[in-house]
Structure 1
């Protein structure tokens, strides 16, 4: 591993973990409560990435009109309460992740999570999957007054890690991740197995991987430049 690499920041949903089944079940729980039809997982996958409220809005918009803001507040509470109790019923980490994280940690590379999911649920999900010990920092969509694709979300995460952007790489699955990294002048690796509605190759990350066994070689390639 290049001595230049000091930090790797990961997105969560669709990057570290495949959480689509539990997010779909939670969204459909709320939709049923309002008498709306359920949405298939293949559609929900492309709605994930902007936080729970945005997912609710997209879910309701998919099947009709979106409830007013005051009702959305109540529905979001219902969503978060249900999800909190079912956060890892079917969620798993992506293949090869453990091995990649272990190798990075053994090379003294600091690891962090930067996600638009709320912070407490992000911590709980990582703990439920036994992944929390890998990461020295985690920031969520409610950690600051800004979130991805705002580059300050990544830069503030790096501050918590006590790392410089020049020695960091972002790993994500969507335009939120890639745009945030670009605007923060941080190289970015896109994963093909995430939830983006646009193929990640079309978002022009610095490297693209289809499995976590490709992560270390991709990081080495980036650090050459």
Structure 2
């Protein structure tokens, strides 16, 4: 294998490493169902995801008939409690991920996660999927008190993984802007929870399948 000029490859979680749309949709549908709203198909949840559970719920409520602040505040803990109990029913790694992770690990590259998902969901999800031991660091949205696009959690991810040249991979503007704010090279994935064309993220590079990741990193300028 050609050498990869990075010590750490960092990943966002939802919409990048793991397709969590099925379980997020189930939680949203459970919450809005308590006030008689009809359920959304999982694919319809994609545009609602990416900026936290509260915004996801607000977008779902808006799309299903509107809401007020009191309704949003009352439904959010219902959604979160349901989701916490059903983290990994439908969630799966994206195609090609495991092979890419194996190749990176074989090349001596450390893997890490920086997500805006709270630790109470992130750590159990990765454990239940069986991938937590593959990562040198897992930083959640509440680990350091701020979330992406603030660079602090990405800096924490790099530090916990042992430091070194790092590239970050994500699917939303929070990921790409966060990486840029942290001074890191970055890659956007075209298969995540995008709320617009992936080109709008203005990432350093784009992949549409994880089969493309390792060859791209091997070609990356040293």
TM-score (norm 2): 0.92
CA contact (8 A) 2:25 2:45 kept: yes
Aligned residue pairs total 221
In the other structure, the counterpart of 1:61 is 62
Are residues 1:169 and 2:167 paired? yes
What are the ranges of 5 or more consecutive residues in structure 1 without an aligned counterpart? none
- Structure 1 stretches of at least 4 aligned residues deviating more than 6 Å after TM superposition: none
- Residue-by-residue CA offset, 1:165-188 (whole Å, 9 max, x unaligned): xx1000111111111111212111
Shift of 1:67: 3.5
What does 1:95-114 correspond to in 2, within 5 Å? 95-114=95-114
Are residues 1:211 and 2:209 paired? yes
- Residue-by-residue CA offset, 1:163-210 (whole Å, 9 max, x unaligned): 14xx10001111111111112121111111101111212322111111
CA contact (8 A) 2:5 2:218 kept: no
Are residues 1:116 and 2:116 paired? yes
CA contact (8 A) 1:114 1:140 kept: yes
What does 1:44-193 correspond to in 2, within 5 Å? 44-68=45-69, 72-164=72-164, 167-193=165-191
Deviates more, 1:53-62 or 1:92-101: 53-62
Distance 2:73 2:200 in 1: 35
In the other structure, the counterpart of 2:42 is 41
Aligned partner of 1:195 among 193, 196, 200: 193
Deviates more, 1:197-206 or 1:91-100: 197-206
What are the ranges of 5 or more consecutive residues in structure 2 without an aligned counterpart? none
TM-score (norm 1): 0.91
- Residue-by-residue CA offset, 1:125-168 (whole Å, 9 max, x unaligned): 1111111111011111111221011122211211222214xx10
